[in-house]
Structures are given as structure tokens and as C-alpha cells.
Structure 1
Amino acid sequence: MTDLMRLFTRAHKLLRAATDEAMSRYGVRVGQNLVLEVLWEQDGLTPGELAERLGVATPTIVKSASRMATAGLVERRRDPTDGRLVRIHLTEHARSVQQDIARARADLAAHAFATLTAAERKHLESALVKIIDRMQSPAG
């Protein structure tokens, strides 16, 4: 493993653990905060719509939504005009923690990036976007 891959893996693990700790205070697991962010923008999306916006597979969203429903964060409801569709809706609890989650994420980002200059942040963001784009394209 190259030094860059080792560093990237270590940074990812540390950020994931810190995010999970910060989100768990509000009954939210790491990754679920991303689903919530999309639903805070537009509530009542289907699992497929959520998956598309987050760049993940629909079964990933279905599994996450099941866990989130058990945790009291979302409700699954049949679409009133097309009974074949299920829509994911925020609960009052999920709405009530929106500002807390946003603040926790901002605090975490401020801590994680405190030693980076504005230029370094911009370069890091650009590099990560390039890595994501490359990894999402077919190999070969």
C-alpha cells in the first residue's frame, strides 16, 4: 500500500469514527446524516431518488431507511397516487435535530480542517472530486 493510500485510509477511519460519535448524540448513525440532509432539502423521496442523489445503490437506501425507521427518524409511506411506490418521510424527531446535526458537522469540519489553509482546502476538495469521478468511471 502506498503512503498516500495508507494516509487516506487512516484519515477516513478517524473522520468516520468522529462523525459517528458526533451524530450518535442525536440518535443518528454515520451515513444516516447524509440521508437526512437530502430529506431536509426535499422530504418524501423514494428510495431510488435518494440513492441517485447520494450516489449509492437503492438497496443501500432501503436497508438504511429500515434502520432509520426503527430509530424513529423516518417513516415509510405508500405514495398516494401510485401505491407501488414507497416514499421516505422525516419524523418530527428528525426535523428537531436538523440544526444540532448541522452544528455538529460544522464543528467537526472546523476541527478536522483547522490546520489547512484556504488554498489547501480548495486543493483537497478538488483532488477528492477527481478521485471520486475516476473511481466511478469504468476501469480500463
Structure 2
Amino acid sequence: MIIDDDAALQLVVSLHRLLRSLRRAAPADGIQPTQTVLLSLLTESGPARIGELAARVPCSQPTATAAVSGLEATGLVLRESDPTDGRAARIVLTERGAQALVDAARAEAEVLAWRLGALGAEEARAVVALGPLLRRLAEAAHDGSDPARRA
């Protein structure tokens, strides 16, 4: 089955609106959205250079540098020498950073659970059942098959 671009656009807009509204309803103790993405990337992939993180967010390197500096100031990440190049630094997630990400996700999940309760039981089950499919779609961007990554 092929989905047309307009249907895909509406899904993207809906997902963005949902995520923004969850983040507004359950703020992550001063952690900015780009910082949340960086913490998530470090959780998924381990230590990385700022340039690598900027490319994966995606954002500019100065934006990534500022976001990392803020995370470093609050003890959520730290810099360590890159073992392959002593002149470079890698950004490493701290235990406190990992816990901050979990706490933010749990707060958003609580809001989402409350909102799902406003739906009918069948609708709520249908939304929850989409979780594994949405995860597969997110992971497709990292396996090399995503056309946006092939340019």
C-alpha cells in the first residue's frame, strides 16, 4: 500500500503537535528540546563528538556546542578525550543525564496515559499498538535505507 504525500504530511504534523504538547505539559526541568535529543542520541549510541551529534540531531555545530555546554554545566554530560584522536573530545552521558532523560520521558508518558484515557478503549488500544510500528519507522532512518540519508 502506498501512502500519498498529503497523508504522510498530516501524520508528521500530528506527531509534531503531539510531542510538542507533551513536552509543554510535562517540562523536563529546564532541558531544552535539542538537549533532550542529544541525551537520547547519547543513550542510543554512546559517546560521540559534537560534530557527529550535530549531524544526527540535525542542527548546526554551534547549536550543538551550546546545547552540550548547557548539559555539561548541569552535570548531565561530560567531555572526555577521544581515544582515537587525543586532540578531539567526545561527549559522554552521565548517570544523572540518563536519569534526567528517563524522568522526562516518564513525565510525558503520564500525560499521554491521561490523554489516552479520554479516548474510547478501542481507540486507546489502537494508538498504543502503533508504538512498535513507529519505533521501526524511527529505526529505519539509521539502517541506511532512508532515502533522506542517501543524498
When residues 20 and 73 of structure 1 are mapped into structure 2, their CA distance, relative to the original with a 3 A threshold, is farther
When residues 108 and 30 of structure 1 are mapped into structure 2, their CA distance, relative to the original with a 3 A threshold, is farther
Partner of 1:19: 23
Contact 1:47 1:58 in 2 (8 A): no
How far apart are 1:99 and its partner, in Å? 2.9
Partner of 1:78: 81
- Opposite residue 56 of structure 1, the aligned amino acid is P
Secondary structure (helix, strand or coil) at the match of 2:79 reads strand
When residues 81 and 117 of structure 1 are mapped into structure 2, their CA distance, relative to the original with a 3 A threshold, is closer
How far apart are 1:40 and its partner, in Å? 1.1
Partner of 1:4: none
- Structure 1 moving runs of 4+ over 6 Å: 113-116
When residues 75 and 101 of structure 1 are mapped into structure 2, their CA distance, relative to the original with a 3 A threshold, is same
How far apart are 1:87 and its partner, in Å? 0.7
Partner of 1:57: 59
Count of aligned positions: 136
Partner of 1:3: none
Unaligned runs of 5+ residues in structure 1 are 1-7
Q: TM-score, normalised by structure 2?
A: 0.56
**Aligned partners of 1:45, 1:108: CA distance in 2, in Å?**
32
**Aligned partners of 1:85, 1:112: CA distance in 2, in Å?**
45
Partner of 1:101: 104
- Opposite residue 65 of structure 1, the aligned amino acid is V
Unaligned runs of 5+ residues in structure 2 are 1-11, 117-122, 139-145
Contact 1:51 1:57 in 2 (8 A): yes
When residues 44 and 97 of structure 1 are mapped into structure 2, their CA distance, relative to the original with a 3 A threshold, is same
Q: TM-score, normalised by structure 1?
A: 0.59
Secondary structure (helix, strand or coil) at the match of 1:95 reads helix
Secondary structure (helix, strand or coil) at the match of 1:104 reads helix
Secondary structure (helix, strand or coil) at the match of 1:45 reads coil
2:91 corresponds to 1:88: yes
**Aligned partners of 2:89, 2:60: CA distance in 1, in Å?**
12
Contact 2:53 2:64 in 1 (8 A): yes
Instruction: Report percent identity of matched pairs.
Output: 33
